[in-house]
Every structure is written in C-alpha cells, then in structure tokens.
Structure 1
C-alpha cells in the first residue's frame, strides 16, 4: 500500500496551526468569557444553592445617623403640596437630568399629561421629575455657553411654569442615581404617602398610561398589597470589568450575586411596599450607585420580592404594532419618537375588536411572529404573545 507521507505531514501541520489559532482565540477571549459566563454560573449557584442574602443585609446595615447622610441634602426645588387633598391613584417620579428639558416637555404633552389622565381616564395621577444639582463643567455643547447659575435659573423658570420639578442639592450624575432613588421614596413618604401606587421611570421611557391605569385600578379594587412589578433580573452578578459603566468593585459589593430586582427603566410598587423601602433606606449603606440593584437590596431586607410583568420592557424598545399597544405598559429608549408613539398607541382603533375572537387570534399570531424568535435586546418575552 502506497502512503503519501508528504500529505500526512501537511495535514498535521494544518491541525497544529488550527489548534494554535483556537488556543490563541481562547486566551484572548478568556477574560471576557470569565466575566460573562463564569460570573453568571457563580451568581446562579449563589442564588439557587446558597441563597444567603441575609449576609448581604447584615454587611450593608449601618447606623441610622450614617444612613441619613444619603438623604440629608437640601431641596433646591420642591412642591410639598403636590398631592394634598387629592385621591392619588399613582405617583410617578421621572428620573431626569437638568439639561433634558425637551424630554420633560414631551412627557408632559403625552403619557404624563395629568389633565388628559384626569379628564379621559377619570383618575388622579401625579407626575414629577427628580433632578440633582447642575454640573459646573460638561462636554455638552448646549451647556458650554452658560454657567451653572444661568441654567439653574432656567430650571426655576421651567418649574414656575409647570410646577413639577423636585430637585436636591447633590450632583446630578450616574454615580448619584441611588441618591435620586432615595429622594423619591423619602418625598413620597413625606408628601404623598396616601397615593395607592408609586412608579419610577427614566425620562426616555414611554408609559402606556391608559393600560397602566386600568391595571392598577383592577389591582386596587382587588385589594392586592406587596406589589412590585417590572422587568425582573434574577441571579444577576456584579460587573467586575473596570471598563464597564456598571463596574462595581469588591470593596463596594463582595457577594457573587445581587438580590432579585427590576430594571430601573420603569417599575411600579404599591404604597405599602414604598413605605417599607423608605424604612429600609434608613438602615442601609447606599454607596452602591446602581440604583435598581440598591432597590433590590432594600426590598430583600424587608422581604419583598419583584414580580415579572411581561409588558414592562426593561431596557429594550417595544416593537411598533397595534397588537403590542393593546397590552403595552412601558417601552424604553424613546426620545424623538415619543409623540408619534403616543398618538399610535392610544388611537381608538387599537382597542376596537379586542373582544372579538378573530381579532384575538390574529393578534396572538402577530405577537408570536414578532416576539417568539431569538433576539438580544431586553424587550417583551415570547410568553407575552399568549396573554
């Protein structure tokens, strides 16, 4: 039998080169693999096998006086009588940066229009904007031509016109979002504790107010308490990559997993939960600047668990379609298109035919086609198609 030794040596050379290439790729990607895959495996193991979140509560518990330092900032703008004398179904706090005037105006004209909600839906919903203090220096061109004092004066004028800005004297920045969260719960406790529900949302989130109001009215009539709904994150690990916006060092949080929490883009709690969270903030170290994670830590400390609602989109943007609009609660990432989405999502034709069998079957098929396919963005899951 004739053997081609040259061909054999060539095949071995190709195998060797392929092996070296694969090893090189593995070595290059190992750090990312470790941070993404291994950290999630450790996190899920901690959550489902160990699940000792009581240690987290103990490690973050601090004296009341020290905890108060995270909330003892003076108000620059305030409206303590915003809810006085009114039966408020929902208090909405929109987290906004001082420079986002256009976003606030868009919300006031669309889903956050209190007059529309009162006249059309017959309930009282109060919408206010949570802000920190203006930065002295920024790379934004619109800020370069004016001083912080000039911009604060503009905020005062906006507030005089609309009466809905709540601002405290801490720097408005990503790393102070937890301070902004604490401000919201403390303000509700002091000035709007009789509201049946509380919602916090980003200023680029679209809220389908009619759908949300109907849901909360039904929830209220059934006397449901201990409510916390949104897009739930379970077994999420801390990000240890220093290049990430969400990097959390071990010194700040040493555990392998976060307690369950809802995406900070938008979630709703009942008034009893809001009160519990308020009291939790009086005992916990709020130096962790990931505000939605801190919310989860507070909730875990008072034995409150988040509940998944499939039509809260988390960090993703919902797909535009009338069949989606019928049950939409929130959608994230809307700035320029918020007016068009509001017009389309609240059009009377969206609800027409919703009770007919053929229309329901049609929308189920449409939602299956839109939602039940592989995707890598945090929007509505496949099971939303069947609801």
Structure 2
C-alpha cells in the first residue's frame, strides 16, 4: 500500500505510517529535529515553522503532551501522504547521506526491567541451578536503576570494562578487564510528559506519558556482575554502556502491532491489571560481526510496557521528560530466539559458531553487535524501528 509520494519510502519501512523522530545535523549547522521518511529526513523546523524543532533534542516537543504529538503527526503525515502537501514538504527533505544522526533526547533517569520470563529463568538457573523463578516474579515486574550516563548514540565504540572478578579456582578476587562481556537486545520506552512527586501513573495512562519506542543494546560484564552479586545486585558490571537507536518510533505508529499480550498467571493485582492491548508484535534480529545469531520476538515478553510504567511509578516516584525504561532482554527461550549471548552460548559452555569457523563464547575486542527490529505498520506493510549497534574496544591500560 502506498503511504507517501516520497520515492521509494514505502519499500524502506519508513513510509508515512511510521515517521520516527530523531535529531540530525548537517555540516556546519546546529542540530535540529526531523522525522525520517525513506532515505530522507524532513526538517520539521523548516516544514512546520515551529521553533521547538530547531532544538538539539526532542525534549521540548515531548514535554508538550499527547495532544501536540498527535496533531503534529497528523499534519506531517498529511504533508507526506497527499500530493497537495508536496510543495510545502519537499524543499525541507534532506538526504540521510548528508546528515549526522545524534542522540534524540537527553535522558533523565534510566530503568532496566526483566520482562522476559524465559530470560529470567535462564539467568536464575545459571546462578542457582535447578531452581525456578520465585512466585513473586510473576506478581510484579522486576527491575533496577541504571545510569543515564551509560546511554550513548548508536555506532559509538564500547570500551571493555574492568572491575573486581573472582579468581579461577578460588582465592582472593582481582581487578582486571572483563572476560565475559555480553550484550542484550532491549526495547526501550521514552517518557514525554512528566509527573509530580507522589503521583502514580495507572496502566491506562501509558499513552498519555510515553512518547515512543527505541532500540537499545545493553552491554554487561557477566563476570563482574557475578562477583558483585547480592544483596543489591550488579552495579559496575551493568552500568557502563547502553547504545540507543537514533529514531524514536511514536506509540501511535505501533497500532497494528498491538495485541492483548501474553497470558499472565496468577492474574496481576488491580494496579497492574491490563486495560488496553499493549502486547507488541515486534520482531528483532541480533547480529554478531554480521552473522544473524538470533531472531527474538517481543510478543513473547511476560510484562507489557503499560504495566512496567505503572509499576515504575507505583510508589509515587516522579517521571521526567526523557526518562527511559527498557524491557530487559527480549527473549523467547526457544532455539534461535534468545536475546543475550549468556543464553545463546549457555554461559560459555556452548560457544556460537560464526561464519568462517570463528567461535564466540563472550564478546571479544573488535566484535560488532548489531540489533534491528520491525513491526506491522498501519498501512499494511512493515515499519522499521531502526538499528542500534556498537563495536567492542579494548580495555584501557
């Protein structure tokens, strides 16, 4: 189905039924906000004349709220879908080849959830073999604070972290570069509208507060994580690098991907009971050095993003514009649908075989991780959520 007059846009997954927002800069010019259509970026400040799109961040626009989001999306879609809008939009289309893509928003707080029951069970079994997930895992989402400073733009190198690690065979721990560096595929949700302290957001408030979705590659040092252990869990082993995709796909673009979500047993308590369909049929592809190593599906996740937001604010913790929370590893547990190297290679016991005969247990210096995703669009075709990736750099001396 044709959604736009922009040549070739529909075949790229960036037609007028997608229109993800990002921040771009042309050589010698300041950053500004645009939407992607095909192999072009529509300069919104020029096309719409709104000064908040001349900002180097999506923050000012996201803070305006869902009424402004929907009105702007409808106006841009109209310009790009109807031939009569061509004269107003075409002069402000900039080829992607001429721009540099930047981080689309400034992150206030960052939270990582563990939304996949299969991933959680795999980690639990590695830590405590033969045990299952505790009942309370199914009662409310499990998550942890991240570090906003760990978030980076896609394509930046990720430095191998160092920290305390257990010594092979026992004995005193030592400090050194991680030898068990991992990466997980996450779907992230960007908060636009803030809340005041003491106010919780019900599951029904998801669409009024969450602006859109991004992809994230969450890097971890499993050996440092394991040594940090309990009672508070990992810190330095899981807070050093989270590249984020440059495009924020609006929640309204995901309408055709929505479904009721995975069945939950026992039924959630009232504050987490679903009132709308926010399960998402989003398909992921994870690559290592160009080889596809997994194709996880977000539809398999146990907790949906509206439930995650409700739990995140259940204690009255305030939301801020730019807050990001992620799903945790998108993983279905089946062969070929696992969302982390920890699961794919069974914690180093069954190394992955890549093309050319190379084997990987964990990430080595020079390895490149790439994650991309797509979903059904409202126009009947596919919409793409972009790509995120990074190359592992050697540890500092």
* TM-score normalized by the length of structure 2: 0.28
Higher relative contact order (CA 8 A, sep 6+): 2
**Structure exhibiting the larger radius of gyration computed from Cα positions:** 1
Q: Going by fraction, where is helix more abundant, 1 or 2?
A: 1
Return the structure number with greater strand share: 2
